[in-house]
Structure 1
Amino acid sequence: MTSSVTISEVGPRDGLQSVDAVMPTAAKKAWIKAEAEAGVSEIEVGSFVPPSLLPQMADTGDIVAYAKTLPGLDVVALIPNLKGAERAIAAGVDKMSIPFSMSETHSIKNVRKDHPAMLAEIKAIADLVAAQPEGQRPHFEVGLSTAFGCTIEGPVSEDQVARLAEAAMAAGVAEVGLSDTTGYANPAQVTRMVRQIKGVIGSDKLNTLHLHNTRGLGLANVMAGLAEGITTFDASLGGLGGCPFAPGASGNIVTEDLVFMLEAMGIETGINLDKLLKVREIIAEALPGEPLYGFTPDAGLPLGFAKAAA
């Protein structure tokens, strides 16, 4: 099991896209700054989607520009297509990710493209990245969404996920990540899927899991991922988030609970948990009445808590 992991905060994108209210730009900046100062080294700050579809993301360009001024922070954005990639590159993101749904029905619902069309789009984006001057090429990752099941189609073939992961790599991406968009995954499935995908594309090309806690298995699935060498886990402060195009898919892993578990186990995250817990105040003030989740924030840290010896 790895001795250190990267926690990628996805709340400013995945969390806020599922909230009806639009968080003010100033509050987003305060949130991102506070998390960076708490030691979070990677934050997905927004998505370059048309504001008509997700008005919550209309200020992503401004947010990226601000986040780029924060020292030591890798700035990530989600992109839906080539046009979004062009905007993300122009904004100067360090990393961009495109969701590639393993459920073709969900893909059509989410981005209006079937699998062949998505692979063509991914290749066009990879070619665009390769055409950028050296040192200005963002890390381009494909998130294999609905990889563990779909609220529209139901079960998704694991062989199909492996085949599409291989096709995405062949299109020129840097790596793929596995996304439990709908909260269907269980630990045995995570173990099986990670092994199968790594066996097809190489162990160094799958490093990230995006897990939901919809049915209470989020942290258990993290443990399965850790055992298979996964080194980056997406999480959302206060558990904000879900997919607006996957009915019932609520509940990102709570960043605070994930950090507590890892630090208690002696796995280094680089995050100051006391500082992280205070960031919730920014969200609560900016989104009054919005439910925030997490056992660690509610219970507090145990008396004498310190990171366990590795």
Structure 2
Amino acid sequence: MSSENRITASFTVPPELSDRRLDQAAAELMPEHSRSRLQSWVRSGALTVNGSACRPKDKVMLGDVLELDAEPEVQVSWQAEEIALDVVYEDEHLLVVNKPAGLVVHPAAGHAAGTLVNALLNYAPEVENLPRAGIVHRLDKDTSGIMVVARSLIAHTSLVDQLQERSMGREYEAVVVGTLTGGATVDAPIGRHPNDRKKMAVVANGKPAVTHYRLIERFAAHTHVRCKLESGRTHQIRVHMAHVKHPLVGDPVYGGRLRLPKGTTESLRDMLTSFSRQALHARKLTLEHPETGEILSWEAPLPEDFTGLLAALRTHARELEQNEL
């Protein structure tokens, strides 16, 4: 639970985190906080183990209780900017936005300004006092769609709990390379790529990750799918679909070289070569309201570039059928 002016949390160390460093275990249990911030809380005594202060490198054991009681920290380096937001819903606890492709979520090296956080600080200044400006889950820069932001500590705690308990429903739509014959589940752990630290990959020692996908529409050499997440690993859908040999159209990192289907028309070739982002859209979000307990759900319509891609694939498939008659 979190009071109005403090960040508080309590966790019991599970078997898989036993004998890990305190800062590593804390990062697994509280992924919404940065490792450096967790370490500073450990050093200051704000994050304790069984009621006692420890060092970040100290080991924790099964059943140990980690307790956090800290003052919110203002992100003084993040500046408010007047950037238009597509607000789908808002109240005193929640802000739900439809993020366009191309908008970076958090300020970072190379993106110190012009991010969703900068826009949020202007639209809802109170998020300045929340961890990561109220953002509890994020979308990649070039992924479009629905996101929820906490506007209060009560909401922040509730949303983080829902994500950890996997009770928050998140549905995505994607266009993948290849023709799928049916839906399936990808249950494969994800971690840093062993040779390229900028990429993620399916690796034996990665974090558990589960993606369910179902067919929406099949084209001549591509498939429109709906994906549901059980976990929320970095690049999860992109990594999992590439792992099963059906990478997302336009994915610059996991898609490999562009493959044009048989009988590609000039219009479809132009669409596929110019589609410069992964064809991934966060379509629907369902969660429990942190104050009322009401189950709420929102949807973001497919953006214009996505619907244009679907139209081009549909036209190509229809032309191929007509040529075969």
Q: TM-score, normalised by structure 1?
A: 0.25
Q: Which has the higher contact order (CA 8 A, sep 6+)?
A: 1
Q: TM-score, normalised by structure 2?
A: 0.24
Higher helix residue share: 1
Higher strand residue share: 2
